[in-house]
């Protein structure tokens, strides 16, 4: 079995700030209880401690699980550079945005197969403008054609048409993606001194990131892993996670207390997709907006307090007070789910919860559909 780390050179080459910090989340909804009548009121007796793994701070353009899922392929690119890479995604794809930037930095040709043939008749959004600026070749296809993205005959045709020697699946989700997630879990263990979390929450879109966490966590990391489905896919998402668990080349670090299963307890909650991928609601939009503003206000307040007390340098202040930012496609749904579960008293009092911020804030650039 291969094990991570492979090398530290790829992180330094792209100026990746590892390890990403663990940050305490301060919000009024971390202290709620539900009365027998169903009303909610603040209650110190049901305080829940919430932490966030700030993978959104890894890099301004290739943050979160976008970097984690690409680190193994990028390492391989530096050892045996391909001439042309091809991948898939939607018009606001965090994966395409990150991969296009990386290919530009490595002087590798890149072709993006983009869902939505109608888009070629419209002005490019800012995400696609970035891809074009980084010399990516944009190919717009209709929905029916895009659905063939895993068909081996279609992939062979694309490989021949574009002379692509490397094809990376949509979202960067492939067995090699789990290497980077394993490294992230190792960072969590080191930062928390192996003091177990009661639960780890992570948004789930393609299953690779959650599979990496499930396969890498042990009892000293967490008691359970909860995925928050960001699209309609009950059963489908679980199958994806299981496929990655079975096909990954990383060693199984999980140490379950149950001898009959190799992994810690895990499940995916499907109650917070808000109608589907990139779908939202007025409630979710308002939650993201309010949360982001509260985090900015909190960071500014702490910054002023520390500077007035001359406790930190300006550089340290900036690092410590970076506010958490969420969007309604991935991170917003996960934070909203956690808030709701806390208010429903899903977690026992004094639980210690870790939410993984998977970065990728291209969703904040778009107007997601509000139902």
Return the number of other C-beta atoms located less than 10 Å from residue 325's C-beta. Answer: 17
The continuous run of DSSP H or E covering 68 comes out as helix 64-79
Best CA proximity match to 302, nearest among 319, 290, 286: 319
Element (H, E) at 242: helix 236-247
- Using N-to-C axis directions, what is the helix angle for 94-105 and 64-79, rounded to 10°? 30
- Sequence-distant (6+) residues with CB within 8 A of 170 are 87, 88, 89, 95, 149, 206
Gyration radius from the chain CA atoms? 21
The span from the CA of 351 to the CA of 339, in Å, is 13
- Name the helix (H) or strand (E) containing 54: strand 49-54
Distance between CA atoms of 265 and 242, rounded to whole angstroms? 13
3-state helix, strand, coil in the chain (%, to 5): 45, 20, 40
Q: Which one from 20, 33, 63, 93 is the annotated catalytic residue?
A: 93
C-alpha dihedral, 172 to 178 to 183 to 185, nearest 10°: 110
- C-alpha neighbours within 13 Å on the C-beta side of residue 288: 19
93 catalytic, yes or no?
A: yes
User: Which residues are identified as catalytic?
Assistant: 93
């Amino acid at each position: 079995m291969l094990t991570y780390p492979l090398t530290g050179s790829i992180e330094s080459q792209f100026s990746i700030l590892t390890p990403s910090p663990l940050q305490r989340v301060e919000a009024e909804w971390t202290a709620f209880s539900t009365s027998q009548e169903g009303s909610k009121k603040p209650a110190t007796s049901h305080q829940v401690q919430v932490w966030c793994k700030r993978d959104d701070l890894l890099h301004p353009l290739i943050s979160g699980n976008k970097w984690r899922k690409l680190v193994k392929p990028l390492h391989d690119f530096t050892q045996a550079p391909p001439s042309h890479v091809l991948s898939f995604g939607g018009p606001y794809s965090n994966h395409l945005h990150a991969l296009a930037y990386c290919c530009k930095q490595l002087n590798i040709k890149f072709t993006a197969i983009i869902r939505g043939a109608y888009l070629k008749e419209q002005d490019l959004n800012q995400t696609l403008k970035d891809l074009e600026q980084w010399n990516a070749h944009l190919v717009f296809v209709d929905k029916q054609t895009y659905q063939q993205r895993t068909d081996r005959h279609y992939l062979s045709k694309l490989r021949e048409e574009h002379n692509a020697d490397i094809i990376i699946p949509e979202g960067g989700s492939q067995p090699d993606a789990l290497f980077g997630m394993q490294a992230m879990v190792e960072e969590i263990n080191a930062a928390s001194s192996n003091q177990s979390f009661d639960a780890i929450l992570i948004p789930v879109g393609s299953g690779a990131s959650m599979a990496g966490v499930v396969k890498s966590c042990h009892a000293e990391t967490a008691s359970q892993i909860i995925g928050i489905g960001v699209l309609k896919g009950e059963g489908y998402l679980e199958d994806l996670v299981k496929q990655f668990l079975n096909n990954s080349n990383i060693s199984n670090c999980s140490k379950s207390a149950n001898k009959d299963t190799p992994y810690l307890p895990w499940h995916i909650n499907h109650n917070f997709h808000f109608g589907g991928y990139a779908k939202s609601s007025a409630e979710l939009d308002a939650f993201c907006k309010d949360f982001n503003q509260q985090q900015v206000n909190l960071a500014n307040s702490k910054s002023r307090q520390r500077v007035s007390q001359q406790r930190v340098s300006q550089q340290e202040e900036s690092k410590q007070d970076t506010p958490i930012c969420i969007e309604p496609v991935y991170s917003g749904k996960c934070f909203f789910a956690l808030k709701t579960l806390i208010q429903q008293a899903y977690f026992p009092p004094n639980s210690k919860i870790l939410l993984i911020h998977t970065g990728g804030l291209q969703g904040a650039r778009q107007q997601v559909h509000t139902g």
